[in-house]
């Protein structure tokens, strides 16, 4: 029976994933970058340093994310090895040891979230600290807390934009402590004020860093969310700097997210307190048996949930500036070990680094900004003109026209390619496509026969003035533009109206 199930699973995957695996997605990072949004993932430094899986871990991370969060290497258990004794080997490799030095993060044009300064329960405190509890006075505890936070935050001042100052403060169940927080050495020595001190010390060490509180089980409201809001109210009433809340979002398929529901209402509660929020540890677990999904069709359900969570984040942007997944690939996820292998496959890339429906759904949310159909394309700088071709041939020049903008020579079929890009074809030569050559300098734009080449695919991004930016896949940071002689070119983006395009929908039988 197990053999038959395995055969079914393999056959299903070959059919279900065939279209996915033939794609060459442009990368989630590009799609997010063009929207001004940040996507991130949790990493382990040793994986990066050792270039595991023949470098695939690093390359897929760099292709898909602008932001990382170390899964372990910035936590007290890893760094704080004794009184005034710190292990900065891994964090220095990431960020550089001195203010002017750089590390892997800067060299790969990444950003980094600091996670976490204080994990607010004993299980996650350094063992040496707990061993000394009997000789630690309240004043000593405050000095230890101050010394540690100043040492870590100060060392990376200006290099870490966001810090999780406190992680998982609220207990899962009511108790007699203020705000129903967890018990910890810090609480036993300093009371609830340890929370206030932690934020104050972090702000002193780096006044420009944005300080967050991070927790799980918060997303849909309820007991822990209410207590977290009360903690924020208290901190703000004390004049303590707190800038954001991290919502972890470890989910399974029993949950749905729809506009206006409890998830949206709960997020608004934090925004109402003039703080931002991030989705910091997203994964969506699938029921597993023998290291395989019990129902492979649940990949589509997983994709739909990833999509709806990203839609929520974008709905609240810029108050929600980023979304991070807790890992890069199913090959290295914490879920199987934490659930005795009853759940897994929780991330957008599978164990072979192939994009799953979750990946493609996220890319579509970010990059599919125009419905398929026929359009007139006019530069904002010359809105009475339109882009067109001068012949019906599949090999043709493109130029601006006036007076023929309702003619089929000035109509373009814009089609989503399921990989983060669009094909743009003239109506009079539908088997051809807008193409570009030489994207490193001023690029020449023309129409050529459609061959599915990367030089024929375009990314499209909405602008603030109801116009759109077009960029070639092969140089997505550059743009389709009209130069000073009215030639159609690809050039560096300067936000000029000649680089932004109005799309007017046309309908043809």
Domains of the chain (ranges; CATH) run 373-506 (2.80.10.50)
Q: What is the pLDDT of residue 507?
A: 61
DSSP percent split of the chain into helix, strand, coil, nearest 5: 40, 25, 35
Distance CA 316, CA 142 (A): 37
pLDDT of residue 172: 96
CA distance 398 to 219: 50
Pairing type for strands 80-82 and 322-325 reads unpaired
- Asked if the model's pLDDT at residue 1 lies above 60, the reply is no
**Cα dihedral 435, 437, 439, 443 in deg (nearest 10):** -90
Task: Give percent of the chain above pLDDT 90.
Answer: 88
Residue with tokens 């609830």: 192
The answer on pLDDT for 168 being more than 50 is yes
Q: Do 195 and 166 form a contact (C-beta atoms < 8 A)?
A: yes
Rounded to an integer, what distance in angstroms lies between the CA atom of residue 7 and that of residue 1? Answer: 10
Q: Is 117 helix (H, G, I), strand (E, B) or coil?
A: strand
- Predicted confidence (pLDDT) at residue 10 exceeds the cutoff of 50: no
The C-alpha R_g of the chain, in whole angstroms, comes to 26
The two three-digit tokens of residue 288, written as one number: 């597993």
CA 341 to chain centre: 27
Euclidean distance between CA atoms 455 and 129, whole angstroms: 58
| Residues with Cβ within 8 Å of residue 355, at least 6 apart in sequence | 20, 23, 25, 348, 349, 363
DSSP code of residue 182: P
- Using DSSP, state whether 94 is helix, strand or coil: helix
**Confidence band of 509 (pLDDT split at 50, 70, 90):** very low
């Amino acid at each position: 029976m197990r053999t038959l199930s395995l055969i079914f699973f393999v056959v299903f995957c070959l059919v279900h994933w065939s279209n996915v695996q033939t794609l060459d997605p442009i990368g989630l990072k590009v799609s997010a970058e063009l929207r001004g949004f940040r996507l991130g993932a949790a990493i382990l430094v040793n994986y990066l340093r050792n270039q595991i899986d023949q470098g695939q871990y690093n390359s897929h991370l760099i292709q898909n994310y602008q932001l990382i969060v170390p899964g372990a290497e910035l936590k007290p258990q890893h760094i704080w090895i004794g009184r005034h004794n710190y292990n900065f080997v891994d964090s220095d490799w990431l960020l550089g040891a001195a203010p002017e030095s750089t590390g892997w993060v800067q060299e790969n044009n990444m950003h980094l979230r600091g996670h976490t300064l204080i994990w607010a329960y004993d299980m996650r405190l350094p063992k040496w600290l707990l061993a000394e509890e009997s000789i630690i006075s309240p004043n000593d505890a405050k000095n230890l807390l101050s010394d540690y936070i100043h040492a870590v935050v100060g060392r990376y001042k200006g290099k870490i934009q966001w810090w999780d100052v406190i992680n998982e403060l609220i207990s899962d169940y009511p108790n007699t402590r203020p705000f129903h927080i967890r018990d910890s050495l810090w609480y036993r020595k300093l009371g609830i004020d340890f929370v206030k001190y932690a934020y104050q010390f972090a702000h002193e060490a780096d006044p420009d860093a944005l300080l967050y509180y991070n927790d799980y089980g918060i997303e849909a409201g309820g007991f822990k969310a209410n207590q977290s809001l009360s903690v924020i109210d208290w901190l703000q009433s004390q004049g303590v700097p707190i800038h954001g809340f991290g919502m972890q979002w470890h989910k399974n398929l029993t949950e749905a997210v729809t506009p206006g529901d409890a998830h949206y209402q709960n997020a608004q509660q934090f925004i109402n307190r003039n703080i931002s929020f991030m989705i910091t540890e997203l994964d969506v677990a699938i029921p597993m048996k023998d290291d395989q999904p019990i129902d492979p069709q649940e990949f589509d359900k997983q994709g739909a949930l990833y999509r709806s969570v990203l839609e929520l984040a974008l709905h609240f942007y810029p108050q929600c500036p980023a979304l991070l997944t807790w890992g890069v690939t199913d090959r290295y996820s914490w879920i199987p070990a934490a659930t005795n292998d009853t759940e897994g496959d929780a991330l957008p890339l599978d164990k072979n680094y192939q994009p799953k429906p979750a990946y493609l759904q996220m890319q579509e949310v970010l990059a599919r900004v125009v419905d398929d159909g026929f359009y007139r394309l006019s530069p904002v700088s010359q809105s009475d003109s339109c882009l067109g071709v001068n012949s019906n041939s599949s090999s043709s020049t493109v130029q601006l026209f006036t007076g023929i903008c309702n003619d089929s020579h000035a109509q373009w079929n814009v089609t989503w390619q399921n990989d983060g890009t669009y094909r743009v074809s003239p109506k009079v030569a539908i088997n051809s496509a807008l193409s570009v050559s030489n994207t490193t300098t001023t690029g020449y734009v023309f129409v050529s026969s459609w061959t599915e080449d990367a030089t024929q695919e375009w990314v499209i991004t909405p602008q603030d003035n109801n116009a759109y930016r077009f960029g070639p896949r092969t140089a997505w940071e550059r743009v389709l533009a009209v130069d000073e002689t009215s030639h159609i070119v690809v050039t560096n983006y300067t936000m000029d109206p000649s680089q932004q395009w109005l799309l007017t929908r046309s309908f043809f039988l």
